[in-house]
Amino acid sequence: MGPENGFEQTVELQFLKKAFRDHYQKQPVDPPYRFTRREWGFFPFGGKMMFRHIGFQRRSEIDQFFIETAPMHAYYSTAYYGDPALQPMGEKFKTWMGADLIFDLDADHLPNAEAMSYSEQLEKVKEEVKRLLFDFILDDLGLPAEHTHLHFSGGRGYHVHVRAPEVLQMDSRDRRAIVDYITGRGVNFDILFPKYATDYNPRFRTYKERRNFKKRDDGGWIKKIYEGKDILISRLLDIENNKDRVEYLLNISGQKKLDIKHQKCETIINDLFIKGKGNSARRMLDEDKFPIGSTKRIDNDFLRLAVSFSSIDLSGETDEPVTTDIKRLIRCPGSLHGKTGLKVMEVQKEYLKDFDPLRDAVALPDDPIKLSIVKGSTHKMGGENFILNEGEIDVPLYLAYFLIARRQASLSSSYPDH
């Protein structure tokens, strides 16, 4: 945590590093699967760059390294190498043996994430990773559950690690195809709902086009588009007037980068809430159909809106590149996250619903630490709710770490060595 992050070699920096060292002395990091074939990388407290191209051959070497260096962040490669410590990267890659398939969901992709509290971000991301894991990875893609592992990142999101033999040799292009499927980028409406000609006019030799809207129980993206339609229509029905409904569609278009303009949003709302005696939207829910009872058929823009409610957004700074990169470094489970003090840890899939990172990933002790609070705030951590006012106050060490690392507090002037 160098000067660019707001810390010099201060007593606060020493406090943060000592907290990590004390932790690793008591709770060693459990080495990942095939750790001797992985490259390791570490970002030190007070440092300005990562140190990587490190390899370990024995667990005792990992234990000693973490205790002696107490890194701020710890990573290992998703790839397996014949010689993981070899440099430069071009030479190391010649010994590439395969790579895990990784999915990274972080709060940086959430709409209005900056307006959410930390706990709100975590809850929202958990909803997303649940859909990603169960609806896409295990269901649609059919990847084996026994080779699929879910990890809390220690920060603002989750990582899904897939170590199934069938994915290890996938190149970046194959992994990109998976990303395209999950994000809905690869959805082809003309394949899912093929067009057909109807109402032929022999005089003018013209006809109308309709779509064959298959049933939702056909599964895959057909089912997901139906689900997205239900969410979209329900939310529009909750809005009282058509002007606000148009604005809602415009906001969704902007958030999802759909580029659907104002006039098209007005047309969609007109078809749903004005034409067809104004009950087309309700009929789409009650009858579970796509045709909306007006003279204008459902077009691609409405379907794209439906897709946006069923796809997984992997547009964050790291989310999508992590999946397509076959030599990426990922956070090491069992290590501590330098910006929160929380533990990077595996979450059993069946317990995801009840998993609370601010309770279950708290790994530092609750020894009282006197802090000087910069600005009043509220926090939920360690199973407690904290209301912090400006001034000096005792808080558990795990919360003290979190607040200092996020520059919301400093150690009291009475702290030893201050």
What are the pLDDT digits (tens) for 231-257? 999 999 999 999 999 999 999 999 888
Residue for token pair 């507090």: 409
Q: What is the mean pLDDT of residues 52-59?
A: 96
Helices (H), 256-336: 262-273, 280-286, 300-308, 319-324
* Burial (Cβ within 10 Å: 0-12, 13-18, ≥19) of residue 244: exposed
Residue 352, pLDDT score: 96
- Span 275-286, mean pLDDT? 85
Q: Which pLDDT score is estimated for 417?
A: 67
Least confident of 36-45, 119-128, 307-316: 307-316
8 Å CB contact between 389 and 375: no
Q: Helices 220-237 and 242-255 sit at what angle, rounded to 10 degrees?
A: 140
Q: Which residues of 370-391 are buried (b: 16+ CB within 10 A; e: fewer)?
A: ebebeeebebbbbeeeeebeee
Task: Answer whether 300's CB lies under 8 Å from 189's CB.
Answer: yes
With a cut of 60, say whether residue 211 has pLDDT above it: yes
Q: 88 preceded by cis ω (within 30°)? A: yes
pLDDT in tens, 157-208: 999 999 999 999 999 999 999 999 999 987 999 999 988 887 777 777 778 7
**pLDDT at residue 35 in the model:** 97
Instruction: Check residues 350 and 295 and name the one with the higher pLDDT.
Output: 350
Query: Cβ distance 158 to 316 under 8 Å?
Result: no
Contact 34, 80 (CB under 8 A): yes
Q: Hey, what amino acid is at 64? A: Q
> What does the pLDDT average to over 208-224?
88
**Could you tell me the sign of the dihedral formed by the alpha carbons of 301, 303, 309, 312, in that order?**
negative
Q: Burial level of 187, CB count in 10 A (0-12/13-18/19+)?
A: buried
C-alpha distances (whole Å) from 391 to each of 371, 376, 395, 412 are 8, 9, 12, 9
Dihedrals phi, psi of 411, to nearest 5 degrees: -65, 145
d(CA 244, CA 253): 14
Q: Retrieve residue 192's tokens.
A: 């899912």
Please choose, from the candidates 153, 100, 184, 78, the residue with its C-alpha nearest in 3D space to the C-alpha of residue 347: 153
Task: Lay out the sheet containing 391-396: strands in order across.
Answer: 391-396, 368-373, 409-411
Q: What sections of 184-241 are H helices per DSSP?
A: 189-192, 220-237
**pLDDT at residue 295, rounded to an integer:** 43
pTM score of the predicted model: 0.88
What the block records as the tokens of 59 is 């667990």
The DSSP call for residue 342 is B
Residue 81 and residue 92: Cα distance in Å, rounded? 7
Q: Which residues are catalytic?
A: 104, 106, 319
Contact 156, 357 (CB under 8 A): no
CA–CA separation, 202 vs 377, rounded Å?
73
Entry field: residues in the chain:
418
Residue 300: its pLDDT value, please? 87
C-alpha 158: how far from chain center: 6
Instruction: State the average pLDDT over residues 338-354.
Output: 96
Of 38-52, 162-176, 319-333, 388-402, the poorest mean pLDDT is in 319-333
Residue identified by tokens 């069946």 is: 350
Select the more confidently predicted residue: 276 or 386. Answer: 386
Q: Which two tokens stand for residue 74?
A: 């710890």
| pLDDT band per the 50, 70, 90 thresholds, residue 132 | very high
User: Averaged over 334-353, what is the pLDDT?
Assistant: 97
